[in-house]
Amino acid sequence: MFPLIISWTTYQSILYGWIVLAVIIFFLLLKITAPYGRHTSSKWGPLVSNKWGWLIMELPVLLVLWIFLFPHLDSLHTVSWIMIGLFCLHYINRVFIFPFRLHTKGKKMPLIIMLSAVFFSIMNGFSFGFYFTHFANYSTDWFADIRFIAGVFLFFSGLYINWKADDILINLRKRDETDYKIPQGWLFNKISCPNLFGELIEWLGFALLCWNLPAFTFLIWTAANLIPRALSHHKWYKEKFKEYPADRKAILPFIV
């Protein structure tokens, strides 16, 4: 079994420092567009396959999480298992399904982006894995708590929005097409990035249903990455397509 070599105070300090870094990254990304996806640039160094890059950079979160969980399988509470299951549901799709549905044959991403995401995934896996195996203290009563009930509703609502938006975006082009098109219909009539909006709602719900430090930390990191990303996408759409709908917002309907 993993010995308890990190106190709660030390663990908190690590995550508070991680939150500070997220805030810094947020303001940095408002000025510098992360060079992957439609914003990929060879100026950031060597490039790797887009599909394999996605898999490699997302997989460590599951590996690290389960390295911590495996020695404690018999001691985890049912509430913790529900939370872990929801977390893994998102990442199983993100690691093993989503990258191989992409119609992005031949597309690349900078190696530095993949490596930075690997570091983030390792940290994310550690924060949840160590918390659930050393500090989580839930009882069955948590299932009846309004935070858990509302959080589960928000989580699955966000997951549905995220997956449906991804499906629409993936099917905008055929497998032999590489050009970009303006998404139409559904939430795309209101915002440029329903997929990112859905993910924000998903992790807001997760933070609420877990009500713990690593979940709130992950929500802050999600917002720090996705909000600037959505603003960059929105700006890109408006620059590339002169006919792009002027009343669309970036990520929050009627607001941003």
* Same domain flag for 120 and 158: no
Last residue of a domain, one of 78, 108, 140: 140
Would 25 be classed as within a structural domain? no
* Same domain flag for 130 and 149: no
Residues of the chain with pLDDT under 70: 1-4, 37, 41, 104-105, 175-178
**Which DSSP string corresponds to 147-184?**
HHHHHHHHHHHHHHHHHHHHHHHHTTS-TT--------
Residue 88 burial (10 A CB sphere; 0-12, 13-18, 19+): middle
Structural domain containing residue 87: 35-140
Report the domain count for the chain.
Answer: 2
Whole-angstrom distance, CA of residue 165 vs CA of residue 170: 9
pLDDT of residue 2: 47
Least Cα distance to 51 among 200, 175, 164 occurs for 175
Q: Which structure tokens are listed for 225?
A: 């990455």
Let me know: does 33 contact 39? Beta carbons within 8 Å. yes
Alpha helix stretches (DSSP H) within the chain: 8-31, 50-69, 78-92, 98-101, 111-134, 146-170, 194-210, 213-240
* Same domain flag for 127 and 46: yes
Last residue of a domain, one of 113, 140, 167: 140
For residue 183, count other CB atoms closer than 10 A to its CB. 21
49 membership: H or E segment, kind and range: strand 47-49
Last residue of a domain, one of 89, 111, 140: 140
Let me know: does 226 contact 170? Beta carbons within 8 Å. no
pTM for the model stands at 0.92
* Same domain flag for 136 and 153: no
* Same domain flag for 225 and 158: yes
Would 224 be classed as within a structural domain? yes
* Same domain flag for 133 and 161: no
pLDDT of residue 98: 87
